[in-house]
Chain A
């Protein structure tokens, strides 16, 4: 996992310089920002929406918003660029989920006409599908933490800032969320024996 590493690979001074330069219209700095955070925003949206096209649309929309706000000098949370960016991304993903539910109340995946237009993507391994299905069954608050941690690649400190929660509470919730996934996957031991290593997890997980 690259959580802390990739976040720290862009040092605070580098990052704020990059953000300032991008806001001043420096295209190279902007491309650097998108290259760093684009894949992470995409992964977050991809996990929640389960549709690569919709995830790309969300990513595009998030960065368009960021670009406009930077250009107009409306980025005011200096030193907290990542929580700011991912808050926008989370809101955009939620809006898209709501809109998709309104359009397709059955909660089906990608639109049928879209699927007809393009060749079917290769089937993901069963373990990946099982994990994605398990995430679907989590309560939204738990799912937010898991996706921000493992898909958006944020550190626990950044997630705590983003969700406005104490770090200790967040760590406890993360732990509980993992337990829930374990139970959903059917590899969790009984609560009394939770500390023992479960058997069969390796068959489900990559």
Chain B
């Protein structure tokens, strides 16, 4: 333990700190032999030669490398599938409720038409519409001279 550390560590913790330091020291002694082996092996990396990796590790790295893009693609496909408009798989027959609603709508329309006939203005409106339609049709045709009216007839 350094002097400065001894000053900052409470007295009751010093034996523990010394125990931890001894444990670390013993691991570092064990690591000295490891470091020699590592130095020899890693010099190749320094020179630029590829370090021989166990094939299994290389495959694991490749799989890990591929996992990211695959996950992104999968997530994208899921989002597209979720957002796509849902089309029915096969044409389905209209339900009874739909048919009943359509029928009711038609009956209402007919009743409204029937009620409209009872008003005089409706008949007049129809006549005006017919005349206007006829006028439009005549304008579209080539103008033909009206036959002279025989005063005697």
The listed residue (A25, A31, A46, A60) touching B30 by CB distance below 8 A is A46
CB B109 to nearest CB in A, in angstroms, measures 70
**Which residues of the other chain, B, contact A31 by a CB distance below 8 angstroms?**
39, 43
CB B75 to nearest CB in A, in angstroms, measures 22
The docked-state distance in angstroms from the alpha carbon of A51 to that of B82 is 47
B34 & A56 in contact (Cβ 8 Å cutoff): yes
Interface residues of B in 16-67 (CB under 8 A from A): 16-32, 34-39, 41-43, 45-48, 51
**Residues 43-54 of chain A, each 1 if its beta carbon lies under 8 Å from chain B, else 0:** 100110000100
Q: Which residue of B lies closest to A26 (CB)?
A: B46
A181 & B16 in contact (Cβ 8 Å cutoff): yes
CB B9 to nearest CB in A, in angstroms, measures 8
**Which residues of the other chain, A, contact B41 by a CB distance below 8 angstroms?**
60, 64
A127 & B2 in contact (Cβ 8 Å cutoff): no
Give the interface size bracket for A toward B. Answer: 35 or more
A46 & B27 in contact (Cβ 8 Å cutoff): yes
B31 & A178 in contact (Cβ 8 Å cutoff): no
B42 & A206 in contact (Cβ 8 Å cutoff): no
Contacts beyond the supplied A27-B43, A43-B30: 12 A-B pairs with Cβ under 8 Å: A1-B5, A1-B18, A1-B25, A25-B47, A38-B34, A39-B34, A46-B27, A47-B24, A153-B24, A178-B9, A201-B15, A202-B15
**Which residues of the other chain, A, contact B142 by a CB distance below 8 angstroms?**
none
B34 & A4 in contact (Cβ 8 Å cutoff): no
A206 & B19 in contact (Cβ 8 Å cutoff): yes
**Which residues of the other chain, A, contact B38 by a CB distance below 8 angstroms?**
34, 38, 56, 59-60, 63
**Which residues of the other chain, B, contact A179 by a CB distance below 8 angstroms?**
13
Interface residues of A in 53-95 (CB under 8 A from B): 55-56, 59-60, 63-64, 66-68, 70-71
Given the interface pairs A34-B39, A60-B38, the reply to whether A67 lies near B19 with Cβ below 8 Å is no
**Residues 21-34 of chain A, each 1 if its beta carbon lies under 8 Å from chain B, else 0:** 01001010011001
Please report B residues at the A interface, Cβ cutoff 8 Å: 1-2, 4-5, 8-13, 15-32, 34-39, 41-43, 45-48, 51
CB B78 to nearest CB in A, in angstroms, measures 25
Q: Which residue of A lies closest to B17 (CB)?
A: A178
A1 & B21 in contact (Cβ 8 Å cutoff): yes
**Which residues of the other chain, A, contact B31 by a CB distance below 8 angstroms?**
38-43, 46, 55, 59
The docked-state distance in angstroms from the alpha carbon of A34 to that of B38 is 7
The docked-state distance in angstroms from the alpha carbon of A152 to that of B36 is 17
CB A15 to nearest CB in B, in angstroms, measures 16
Q: Which 10 A-B pairs have the closest CB atoms?
A: A38-B35, A42-B31, A205-B19, A39-B31, A43-B27, A67-B45, A1-B21, A34-B39, A150-B24, A150-B20
The listed residue (A47, A64, A71) touching B27 by CB distance below 8 A is A47
A39 & B46 in contact (Cβ 8 Å cutoff): no
**Which residues of the other chain, B, contact A46 by a CB distance below 8 angstroms?**
27, 30-31
25 A-B pairs (CB sep. < 8 Å)? A1-B17, A1-B21, A5-B2, A30-B42, A30-B46, A35-B35, A39-B31, A42-B30, A46-B30, A47-B23, A59-B31, A59-B38, A64-B41, A67-B42, A131-B20, A150-B21, A150-B23, A153-B28, A178-B13, A178-B16, A181-B20, A182-B12, A195-B10, A197-B12, A206-B22
